[in-house]
Structure 1
Amino acid sequence: MDRLPNPAWLRSFESAARHLNFTTTAQELGLTQTAVSLHIRSLEAELGQKLFTRNARRLELTELGQSYSLTVRRALSDIALSTNSLFGPASRQTLTIRAAISTATYWVAAELSDFSARHPDIPVRLVSHIWNDSGKPGDVDVELRLGYGDWPGVRSEKLTDERLVPVCRAGDGSPILNNGPLIHILGYEDNWARYFQANGTAPPDQPPRFSVDTTVAALQLVMAGAGYATILERFAKNAIRQGAPIAIAGPAIPFAQSHYLVSAQRAAQPTAAAGLFCAWLRDRLATDAAD
C-alpha cells in the first residue's frame, strides 16, 4: 500500500484545520488537548512539513496545510458517506431480494411500485443473477427461483404456475410463427420443440438464428426484429404493459417450471420486512390468478 499516515492523526488534523483551535478540536473528538497536539506534531514529523503556524493566540494553516486539509477532508467525508450508506441504520432495515435477471426485470421490478406504495418505510434492494447457484439462500432476505423446486439443501415454497408463449416484434405476428428465425435461450433449448409439439406442428429443420443466456437478451433481439422467442407469458405481458414493442404470437402452453420462494434448510426467522414482502407477493399472485 502507498504511504498512509496514521488515520487518527489525519482525523485530528482535519478537525483542527476546520476549527483552527486545538481545544475545540479536542472537545469535538473526545480527546485531550495534549493528545490532539501530539497527533498534529506526529503527522508533521511523518510528512516532514509544518501544517500549522502557531501564533500566540491562534493557529493558521500553512499553504501546504491548506492544500492537504482539502484532500483529507474529502477523503474522510467519502469514507463516512460510504460507511453510512452500507452499514448505517437504513442499510440494516433494507429488504434485499434476489432473483434471476429475467424474473427481476420482467416480474419483480414491474410489481415493486405497488409494494412500495403499501410499505413506503421499507427500502428495497433488488439484485439479480443468471444461474440459480449464483448465491446462497441465507445471503439475502428473500430469494425467488424458477425451476422444479428440487434444489438440494434448501426449502422451497411454490408460488406460481407458468405458461409459455412465443413472442415477436409488434406487427410481425403470424400463425405458428410462419417459419420465422428462432431465438433460443440457453438452458431452455427444448422450449421450441415443446411448443411446436403442443401445437401439432413440426419444428423447422434449421439451427437457431441466435442463442442467448437470458430472456432479457432474447427480448432485445425480438424487439429488433431478429426473430421469435419463447418466454413465460407472465414476462411477456409485463413487458408489453411496460411499453415493449413486442406481441404474443401464438397460444400459450403449460410450462413445467414454476417460481419458488427459497430459503436455507435452517434459515433464521425472516425479518419483518421479508415477512411483509412474502405476504404481499402471495396476495398479489392470488389477485392475478382471480383476474
Structure 2
Amino acid sequence: MDRLPNPAWLRSFESAARHLNFTTTARELGLTQTAVSLHIRSLEAELGQKLFTRNARRLELTELGQSYSLTVRRALADIALSTNSLFGPASRQTLTIRAAISTATYWIAAELPDFTAQHPDIPVRLISHIWNDSVAPADVDVEIRLGYGDWPGVRAEKLTDEYLVPVCRADNGSADLSGLPKSPLIHILGYEDNWTRYFQANGITATHQPPQHSVDTSVAALQLVMAGAGYATMLERFARNAIRQGAPLDIAGPAIPFAQSHYLISAQGAAHPSAAAGLFCAWLRDRLASDAAG
C-alpha cells in the first residue's frame, strides 16, 4: 500500500487547518490540546515538512500545509459521504446555529422551544459571539447576523425589519422623553450613535455628556438597566422578548426604525443546507411572518 500517515494525525491536521487554533481543534475532536499538538508534530516529522508557522498569537499554514489541507479535507469528506451513502447518516444529527450573543439570548433562544416542539428529533446547539468578525470560520448549519447585508464572500437573505426603543427598569415608570438626555444613559460599544439617532427622530435636543456606563452587548446593558443604572436603547424585538420572559423592564418611548436588519448567512458557492437547516430556516421565516401579521 502507498504511504499513508496515521489517520488520527490527518484528522487533527484537517481540523487545525480550518480553525488555525489547537484549543478549538481539541474541543471539536474531544481531545486535549497536548494531544492535538503531538499529532501535528508527528505528522510533520513523518512528512519531513512544516505544515504550520507558529506565531505568538495564532497559527498560519505554510504553502505546503495549505495545499495538503485541501487534499486531506477532500479525502475525509469523500469518506464521510461514502459512509453516509452506504450506511445512512447519524440518526440524530445536531443542528448548529450561530448568532450574535444578544440575538441568541433575546430572540433565538426565546423562540427555540416552539421549533423543538415541532421537530423533537432535531437536537439544537446554539453558539454565540459578540462581533461578526470575532469568530474564526466554524462548522455551523445556520448563521444569523445583524447588519446591513453587505458582508463580502457570503449570501445574505434579509429576514427582518428592526426598530429601536429605549428601555428602563419597570419601577421607574414612563419616562418624559424630553428629560431623557439628562438621565443616565447606557451606551453599547459599536452602537454609540443610537441615542443620538433616537433623540433626532423624536425632535429632542440632546446634550453631549460622556456616558457613565459603556458595555459591549445588549445583554450587559439590560443587566445595568435592571440594576437601576439608567436607560439603554435596544431592538424592540429583544426588549419585548425579555419582558415576556419576566425581565423587570419597561419600554420607555416610541419605537423608531433601525437601519440594520437580521439576515440568514450562507457562504457563496456553499452546498445545499442540510435537511435540518432547511426545516429551521422555513420555521424561522414562518414565525417572522406570523409576528408581522400579528
TM-score tier, shorter chain, comes to 0.5 to 0.7
Cα distance per residue 1:230-269 (max 9 Å; x no partner)? 0000000000000000100000000000000001001111
Residues 165 and 251 of structure 1 are in contact (CA less than 8 Å); yes or no, is this contact kept in structure 2? Answer: yes
**Residue among 238, 262, 282 paired with 1:259:** 262
Corresponding residue of 1:105? 105
- TM-superposed deviation, 1:138: 6.2
CA distance in 2, matches of 1:233, 1:282: 18
Corresponding residue of 1:248? 251
CA distance in 2, matches of 1:245, 1:180: 19
Corresponding residue of 1:222? 225
Decide which structure has the larger Cα Rg and report it: 1
CA distance in 2, matches of 1:162, 1:269: 28
TM-score, reference length from structure 2: 0.67
CA distance in 2, matches of 1:134, 1:265: 20
The more displaced of 137-146 and 115-124 is 137-146
1:1-291 → structure 2 map (5 Å cutoff)? 89=90, 93-135=93-135, 139-172=139-172, 173-176=174-177, 178=180, 179-291=182-294
CA distance in 1, matches of 2:189, 2:266: 26
CA distance in 2, matches of 1:282, 1:128: 20
- TM-superposed deviation, 1:270: 0.3
Give the partner amino acid of 2:285. R
> For structure 2, which runs of at least 5 residues remain unmatched after alignment?
1-88
Number of residues of Structure 1 aligned to a counterpart in Structure 2: 203
CA distance in 1, matches of 2:209, 2:150: 34
Give the partner amino acid of 2:283. W
Call closer, same or farther: CA 1:182–1:230 in 2, change over 3 Å: same
- TM-superposed deviation, 1:205: 3.0
- Percent identical among aligned pairs is 79
CA distance in 2, matches of 1:128, 1:110: 14
CA distance in 2, matches of 1:208, 1:135: 28
Give the partner amino acid of 2:213. F
Give the partner amino acid of 2:93. Q
State the Cα RMSD in Å.
1.5
